[in-house]
Chain A
Amino acid sequence: MSSTHDTTHDEAFSSPDPAMESPEPGVEEHYPDEWQYIKVALILFLITMAEVGIYYTSGARRAVITLMVFMMIAKFALVALYFMHLRFDSKLFRRLFVTGIILAVAVYLIALSSLHVWQH
């Protein structure tokens, strides 16, 4: 390996991108303990129960749907942040995943809106 390459490589390590601020790969002490995982699972269970309970209530349709979507986002975020460790891992991973989500939501919301799906 050339000395030029070594220098470039060292510089890359000495000035890391802020997006990559993270524990080293394989370092696990920042991850939650098992009880925290169990607590998150309990919250997920309770939200699912609440979702199903709301399904059987008769209320303002728009308000019920908004509440259900809010609960869905809460469950999604809990799994992604705690079970998938996005809260504890590098910001780069979060950006990759969130970019995919934002792209998907934006593209398909525009597509569905242009097809007047919400008026149906």
Chain B
Amino acid sequence: MAVTEEVKTPDSTPEEALAHPVTSTGLSNEKIAMWAFLGSECLLFGALISTYLLYRGRSVVGPFPHDVYDIPYTSVSSFVLLMSSLTMVLALAAMQRKDQRRMRVWLLTTALLGATFIGGQVYEFTVFYRAGLSLHENLFGSSFFVLTGFHGAHVTIGILMLLSLYTMSAKGRLAENRVETVELIGLYWHFVDVVWIVIFTMVYLVPGVK
């Protein structure tokens, strides 16, 4: 069992104690919890991707994937999300250098790239819906919208966390030594990116290979 105690030396401030807790593992409990959470999320998205694969090619009525997919458009969306991972890690690097001004710039850039991805997904959903594809139209529609919708919800939660972090920093409520707070949100953000890497290949590209 991990035991957490604050370091209390005559010189340590409450913020320093918060940033460097002593645990029985020597590792941050919050970071262990985040990795355990991300490990469990693999099972959630694994179930959704498996459901999509199970129903692939079993729809009796259209629209079918090749009727609605726009691969160049989705490739640009994927690129936007990939680059948001870069800006997120640059935000963390800035925080490690105690440069909060630059960190805020990168955080806002990451949130904007995430919002661009979500905007693209909303547009894509709208186009698909106008083409006759809905959640209950056929098996493809059900599994596609549930999978990509869950992923989109995760990205949206990530954007809200990024904006909260930005606001905390802008108001001076983010102590310089709380690097781990930025790192934990970064881990979540990178996770939604790696999930999209799998979705892009398994859901968009592979079924269309001739």
Count residues of B near A (Cβ-Cβ below 8 Å).
63
Q: Residues of A contacting B85 with CB < 8 Å?
A: 41, 79, 83
Q: Residues of A contacting B75 with CB < 8 Å?
A: 48, 52
**Interface 9-residue window, one of B20-28, B60-68, B144-152, B161-169:** B20-28
Is the Cβ of A72 less than 8 Å from the Cβ of B197? Answer: yes
Q: Given A25-B180, A92-B25, A112-B50 in contact, is the A100-B40 Cβ separation under 8 Å?
A: yes
From A24, A28, A97, name the one whose CB has the most chain B CB atoms within 10 angstroms: A97
B101 within 8 A of A: no
From B31, B193, B201, name the one whose CB has the most chain A CB atoms within 10 angstroms: B201
Q: Residues of A contacting B88 with CB < 8 Å?
A: 83
**Interface 9-residue window, one of B41-49, B118-126, B131-139:** B41-49
Q: Residues of B contacting A108 with CB < 8 Å?
A: 46-47, 49-50
A117–B39 Cα distance when bound, in Å, is 25
Q: Residues of B contacting A90 with CB < 8 Å?
A: 27
Q: Which residue of chain A has the shortest Cβ distance to B46 in the bound complex?
A: A104
Is the Cβ of B31 less than 8 Å from the Cβ of A72? Answer: no
Is the Cβ of A112 less than 8 Å from the Cβ of B54? Answer: yes
Is the Cβ of B190 less than 8 Å from the Cβ of A79? Answer: yes
Count residues of A near B (Cβ-Cβ below 8 Å).
58
Total CB contacts across the A-B interface at under 8 A = 162
Is the Cβ of B90 less than 8 Å from the Cβ of A37? Answer: yes
A contact face: mostly helix, strand, loop, or mixed: helix
Is the Cβ of B36 less than 8 Å from the Cβ of A69? Answer: no
Q: Residues of B contacting A69 with CB < 8 Å?
A: 201, 206
Q: Given A28-B179, A79-B193 in contact, is the A9-B3 Cβ separation under 8 Å?
A: yes
Q: Residues of A contacting B49 with CB < 8 Å?
A: 108
A55–B28 Cα distance when bound, in Å, is 43
Pick from B27, B47, B186, B205: contact of A20, CB under 8 Å: B27
Which B residues are closer than 8 A to A by beta carbons?
Answer: 3, 19-21, 24-28, 31-32, 35-36, 38-43, 45-47, 49-50, 53-54, 56-58, 71-72, 75, 78-79, 82-83, 85-86, 88-90, 93, 96, 177, 179-180, 183, 186-187, 190-191, 193-194, 197-198, 200-202, 205-206, 208-210
Can you spell out 14 A-B residue pairs with CB atoms less than 8 angstroms apart? A9-B3, A26-B179, A28-B96, A37-B90, A51-B200, A65-B209, A68-B205, A79-B190, A84-B187, A96-B39, A99-B39, A100-B38, A100-B41, A120-B58
